[in-house]
Structure 1
Amino acid sequence: MSLATVFPQSVPAQSPAAPALRAVPASPEARGFALYVGLDESKARAAGVSLGEIVEAIKNVIGELAPAAQSYAAVALAPEGVGGRDVDVVRLALQEPSAVARQHPSEVEEEEDELDRAHAGVVIDISRKRLVLDNEPASLTFKEFELLQYLVLREGRTIERAELISSLWSAADGDDVPNERTIDVHVRRLRAKLGRYEDIVRTVRGVGYRFDRHADVSIRHASTPSPDLF
């Protein structure tokens, strides 16, 4: 079985001047996943298989587990003898966001800083654990940012106080586990630091809290998925 049959398109490794990271949608949702496999033809042959056979086997498993699933495979091409772990070379060749960011960290940070300066409003930067209000960083505590992040990652869903307690506090923290009333205190402190944007954290009376996005709110998601999705 030839590679051309299994891989409709081969993707070469990018040069150092590769394009910037693709933008993350404003309201992302899980639509699938990418599995990066580091394995060259010689290692596959040593194992008694080919890359094409491995891809076909994976596709068959997906078809058995979820017949409605759609799949697409692309082989990553890199210069012969390039250093690094096979899987890292593959991720970079296929422009996986976190791999690209590690390759050019200063360029990514400069681009993000420029975006911050250009954005008058709220920037919730989950990837770098920071909140920027009207181009000024807000001094949230670790727990305050965790609380905001938890609500943001579940945008539009009302989160009960009990869920916030069980998800964000544990005995391992070394802090006293709060009750539902002290959750209200934490939210009040967070809102005070949000200033004129405090209403992005809504109170749903008798239930809990919800994050509501405004037009002047920008969210930078980490490259890793939300922990309650996978």
Structure 2
Amino acid sequence: MSLALAPIRTAPTVSNPTPVAPGALRRIAGVSTAQAAPAQTAPAAAQPAAPRVRAVPDGTEARGFVLYVGIDEAKAVADGTTLHRIVEALRKLTAEVAPSAETYAAVALAPEGAGGRDVDVVRLALQDPAALAKQREQTGHDDTDRHPNGVIIDISRKRVLLDAEPAGLTYKEFELLQYLVLREGRTIDRHELIERLWADDEEAPSERTIDVHVRRLRSKLAHYQDIVRTVRGVGYRFDRHADVSIRQASTPSPDVF
């Protein structure tokens, strides 16, 4: 807000001036008695403490939040949009409201024809603790493993068991296997793997590096390594075998959007 200052007018010189009462002098100068009084400033109000998120217990701090959006691709098209446009709109809004905020989007995957409300499927897929607890309560059983022989690719828990023993995959090795598993039967070229799995890395690997990652993954799959097949000149493909079990029906793992 700007303040406009009126030009100062000087009184004309008068010979033999008549004494003027102080109050009249103030009126001549255009300043009222109230204006002449010194301004009194109100004491600064204490800044209220930032409100705490109600669900955050003492000794912890809120570092962000999750907004579950339940909508499949067909419903998005019917609404005249796409999942990608929704994500970009939410990211744009977040940047406008809180420029310092960081965002990460993931799409929840479920088998075709899976029932239930979209938002409930999303919460289960993204491992929402409250949704998982509700599912256990409704089904009346825990998820205790009974390990059969063969390969168990547990996408919901991010692990691989070989004949009941953990395969010990690194995070990136599991992400690579998961990417192929969720696209069963489709050959994925090396460029797509780099673009989707290393998009956030400062230095993207070369296609030769992808081959190294696949060799390390296969070595940890031991005698089940042929579930990841090489398609010469193209890329890699996951083929399901009779001794491979994939756990993702109720809590499929998200893919990077």
TM-score, scaled to structure 1: 0.53
How many residue pairs get matched? 140
Structure 1 segment 1-230 matched on structure 2, within 5 A = 29-31=111-113, 34-35=116-117, 101-103=132-134, 104=136, 107-110=141-144, 113-114=145-146, 116=147, 119-170=148-199, 172-174=200-202, 176-221=203-248, 223-224=250-251
Q: How many angstroms does 1:224 deviate by?
A: 4.9
CA distance in 2, matches of 1:197, 1:149: 15
* SS of the residue 1:155 aligns to: coil
* SS of the residue 1:209 aligns to: strand
Cα separation, partners in 2 of 1:222 and 1:29, compared to 1, 3 Å: closer
CA distance in 2, matches of 1:137, 1:153: 20
The residue identity in structure 2 corresponding to 1:122 is V
Q: How many angstroms does 1:30 deviate by?
A: 1.5
Q: How many angstroms does 1:102 deviate by?
A: 1.5
Cα separation, partners in 2 of 1:33 and 1:135, compared to 1, 3 Å: closer
CA distance in 2, matches of 1:29, 1:180: 31
* SS of the residue 1:219 aligns to: strand
Larger-Rg structure: 2
| Aligned CA-pair RMSD | 3.3
- Alpha-carbon contact 1:159-1:207 (below 8 Å) kept: yes
Q: How many angstroms does 1:160 deviate by?
A: 0.6
Q: Which runs of 5+ in 1 are unaligned?
A: 1-27, 38-86, 92-97
- Percent identity, aligned pairs only, is 66
- Alpha-carbon contact 2:156-2:252 (below 8 Å) kept: no
Larger helix share, 1 or 2: 1
Alignment partner, residue 9 of structure 1: none
The residue identity in structure 2 corresponding to 1:139 is G
Q: Which runs of 5+ in 2 are unaligned?
A: 1-109, 124-128
Alignment partner, residue 28 of structure 2: none
CA distance in 2, matches of 1:108, 1:154: 29
Q: How many angstroms does 1:101 deviate by?
A: 3.4
The residue identity in structure 2 corresponding to 1:147 is L
The residue identity in structure 1 corresponding to 2:214 is V
CA distance in 2, matches of 1:205, 1:165: 18
The residue identity in structure 2 corresponding to 1:109 is D
Q: How many angstroms does 1:33 deviate by?
A: 5.7
- Alpha-carbon contact 1:153-1:226 (below 8 Å) kept: no
